[in-house]
């Protein structure tokens, strides 16, 4: 392991590879305990999470629902509940995966907020967007979608005196692959420190079907490239990112991309600058 690999892994609190199934199961229990601890410490009783159809929200959602069920059993308080929210922009091309995720998660409550009108309305009002090239405007509006989804989740959480769950994990954090104050904004992030393969392993451990656990990841924020794979945006595979974070050898080019991207996106992982 290089010094930079060790430094970056430590900064992201990366969890070592699971040694066996028992270690995986123990990590699942630790994550559920964390979720329950966050709710109890907050004095609140509701969790909210947007479900996209990808493995990250699938895994975080099922962990949330299981945690809520345990809290109800442990406390006898039926007020604890989990709200899973669909946040499509118009018609989502992989809506079938999102619906399958909801069926797997089995949330106490499901809701849908279509963000298309809000995104379009804001886009029409921001005159600075009108002079951009199609590709640049598409990119900026992708970030708008992520931030509108954040606003919707926090609105639902506020209305129910609850907390918003985030789905960020180490393999996304190292690449800064989230929208600042968008999907990067949350009250608790129960997948933190895990690499992508570990998220998939937890999904499988919880009983998720292969087509969801091993689905090709996509942020799906760009209109011009719907369903664009994360790995295409990264320029490296998740397998290489995971290996890097676990201190294993990777291609020289992959190493350079990961380190360069980590350094360039540092601002996303830190508090706002202050004098």
Whole-structure pTM value: 0.95
Mean pLDDT for all residues in the chain: 96
**Is residue 124 included in any domain, yes or no?**
yes
Residues in binding site for deamido-NAD(+): 147, 180, 187, 267-268
Hey, which residues are catalytic here?
56, 172
Instruction: Answer whether 45's CB lies under 8 Å from 77's CB.
Output: yes
**Is residue 190 included in any domain, yes or no?**
yes
Domain holding 248, by residue range, is: 3-269
Could you report the per-residue pLDDT of 26-36, keeping only the tens digit for each? Answer: 999 999 999 99
Could you give the CA distance from residue 35 to residue 165 in angstroms, rounded to a whole number? 9
Residues in binding site for ATP: 50-57, 167, 196, 218
Residues in binding site: 50-57, 147, 167, 172, 180, 187, 196, 218, 267-268
Burial of 165-177, coded b for 16+ CB within 10 Å and e otherwise, reads: bbbbbbbbbbbbb
Find, among 107, 133, 117, the residue nearest to 51 by Cα.
107
Residue 116's pLDDT is 97
Q: Could you tell me the CATH number of the domain that includes residue 167?
A: 3.40.50.620
**Is residue 32 included in any domain, yes or no?**
yes
Residue 228's pLDDT is 81
Using left for φ > 0, alpha for ψ between -120 and 50, and beta otherwise, residue 84 falls in: beta
Phi, psi dihedrals of residue 214, rounded to the nearest 5°: -115, 25
**Is residue 162 included in any domain, yes or no?**
yes
Could you report the per-residue pLDDT of 52-93, keeping only the tens digit for each? Answer: 999 999 999 999 999 999 999 999 999 999 999 999 999 988
Residue 104's pLDDT is 98
Residues in binding site for Mg(2+): 56, 172
Number of compact structural domains in the chain = 1
**Is residue 274 included in any domain, yes or no?**
no
Span 182-195, average pLDDT: 97
User: Alpha-carbon Rg of the chain, whole angstroms?
Assistant: 19
Q: Which residues fall within 8 angstroms of residue 122, CB to CB, at 6 or more apart? A: 144, 148
Q: How far is CA 135 from CA 20, 86, 140, 142, 234, in A?
A: 45, 26, 9, 11, 18
**Is residue 244 included in any domain, yes or no?**
yes
């Amino acid at each position: 392991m290089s010094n930079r690999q060790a430094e970056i892994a430590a900064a992201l609190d990366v969890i070592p590879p699971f040694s066996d199934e028992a270690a995986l199961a123990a990590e699942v229990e630790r994550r559920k305990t964390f979720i329950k601890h966050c709710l109890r410490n907050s004095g609140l009783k509701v969790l909210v999470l947007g479900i996209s159809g990808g493995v990250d929200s699938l895994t975080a959602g099922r962990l949330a629902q299981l945690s809520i069920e345990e809290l109800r059993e442990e406390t006898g308080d039926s007020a604890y509940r989990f709200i899973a929210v669909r946040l499509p922009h118009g018609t989502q091309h992989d809506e079938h995966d999102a619906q399958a995720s909801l069926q797997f998660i089995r949330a106490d409550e499901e809701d849908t907020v279509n963000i298309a009108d809000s995104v379009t309305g804001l886009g029409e009002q921001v005159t600075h967007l009108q002079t951009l090239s199609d590709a640049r405007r598409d990119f900026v509006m992708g970030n708008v979608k992520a931030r509108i989804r954040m606003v919707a989740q926090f609105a639902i959480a506020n209305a129910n005196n609850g907390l918003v769950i985030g789905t960020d994990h180490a393999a996304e954090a190292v690449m800064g692959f989230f929208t600042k104050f968008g999907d990067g904004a949350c009250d608790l992030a129960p997948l933190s420190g895990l690499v992508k393969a570990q998220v998939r392993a937890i999904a499988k451990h919880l009983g998720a079907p292969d087509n969801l656990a091993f689905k090709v990841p996509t942020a799906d924020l760009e209109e011009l490239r719907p369903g664009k794979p994360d790995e295409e945006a990264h320029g490296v595979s998740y397998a290489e990112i995971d290996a890097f974070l676990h201190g294993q050898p990777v291609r020289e080019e992959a190493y350079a991309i990961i380190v360069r991207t980590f350094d360039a996106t540092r601002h996303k992982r830190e508090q706002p600058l202050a004098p």
